[in-house]
Amino acid sequence: MELNAAPIGVFDSGYGGLTVLKELEKAMPGYDYLYLGDNARAPYGTRSFDTVYEYTLQAVKWLFDKGCPLVILACNTASARALRSIQQNDLSGMDPSKRVLGVIRPTAEIAGKFTNTGSIGILGTEGTVTSHSYILELQKFFPEVKVYQEACPMWVPLVENHEHDKPGADYFVRQHIDRLTQQCADIDAIFLACTHYPLLLDKIMRYIPEGMQVFSQGSIVADSLKQYLERHPEIQSRLSTGSNCYFTTTDRAETFDRQAAVFYGKSVASHRIELL
């Protein structure tokens, strides 16, 4: 990484955040980005609150140490379980001039606009669903909208193990779509509230009832960050603008490089790092 680089840090438990990074770069190509995937400890979705918090805090500290003035938790599970504590309790002790943002609020801010029936569906990890973060955030912006949730614990392992486009994945995709739609026949907008799930989009589209729309978060988060930086020149002016993207993983770099291309659409050359 260039000396003096001040990239936007993008963190996920594994590969899923690459679906967000891709959209960030598309919307804001000038900045430098530093991606960190905690592949060695993924998935986070079934881990306890304390564990997700501890791992996420380690990742944020590492990205801050590498010079990121701003870190995006491109992971719903980390956003649901760690973001608030980091913002409220840890940031002041690390560097109060830096920022950590998540993916739930930007999605909740606009989700209600995409339903005509007033009923939306959220598909996420167990950690995200049991946190009720989407229900709480959506209530603030769209109190009249009804939110139905379904946890899909098998979906991230399918993606992390590169089985998402194989026939075996169909069973689990269908199972959770059916469980969600059985909760309410009126749902007309489904949000993929896990950054890994866009990889399953083809199969999801195969099993959703006709007329239902499905939304991924990448471009939503990118639009929201763009607006945030316009409103916060004090953060925006600290970001370096070399249009470089650096990739790091806590597991084998060769494996990351091979799989990342599937999520990111381009080949990457990552480095292995250790989080403590």
Q: Is 75 a catalytic residue?
A: yes
CB nearer to ligand DGL: give 83 or 253: 83
Instruction: Specify the pairing of strand 70-73 against strand 8-12.
Output: parallel
137 binds ligand DGL (CB under 6 A): no
CB nearer to ligand DGL: give 195 or 259: 195
Total residues contacting ligand DGL by CB under 6 A comes to 17
Residues 16/74, Cβ–Cβ less than 8 Å: yes
250 binds ligand DGL (CB under 6 A): no
Task: Say how far apart CA 31 and CA 207 lie, in whole Å.
Answer: 38
Q: Is 194 a catalytic residue?
A: yes
Using Cβ positions, the residue closest to ligand DGL within the complex turns out to be 45
Q: Residues 142-181: x/- map of binding to ligand DGL (CB under 6 A)?
A: --------------x-------------------------
Work out the number of other CB atoms within 10 angstroms of the CB of residue 202.
12
Specify the stretch interacting with ligand DGL by CB under 6 A; choose among 22-30, 69-77, 235-243, 265-273.
69-77
From the list 44, 64, 134, 142, which residue makes contact with ligand DGL (rule: CB under 6 A)?
44
Q: Site residues for ligand DGL, window 91-130 (CB under 6 A)? A: 125, 128
Task: Say how far apart CA 227 and CA 103 lie, in whole Å.
Answer: 14
Q: Which of 68, 152, 184, 194 is catalytic?
A: 194
Beta carbon of residue 80, minimum distance to ligand DGL (angstroms, whole number): 8
- For 268, phi then psi, to 5°, come to -135, 160
Q: Site residues for ligand DGL, window 190-209 (CB under 6 A)? A: 194-196
Residues 238/69, Cβ–Cβ less than 8 Å: yes
Residues 111/135, Cβ–Cβ less than 8 Å: no
Q: Looking at the DSSP assignment, which residues form a beta bridge with residue 214?
A: 190
- For 70, phi then psi, to 5°, come to -145, 135
* Residues 6+ positions from 58 with CB-CB distance below 8 Å: 275, 276
* Residues 6+ positions from 130 with CB-CB distance below 8 Å: 151
41 binds ligand DGL (CB under 6 A): no
From the list 56, 77, 240, 248, which residue makes contact with ligand DGL (rule: CB under 6 A)?
77
16 binds ligand DGL (CB under 6 A): yes
Q: Which of 68, 75, 152, 245 is catalytic?
A: 75
Q: How many CA atoms lie within 13 A of 229 on its CB side?
A: 19
Q: Give catalytic residues, as residue numbers.
A: 75, 194
List of residues contacting ligand DGL (CB under 6 A): 12-14, 16, 42-45, 75-77, 125, 128, 156, 194-196
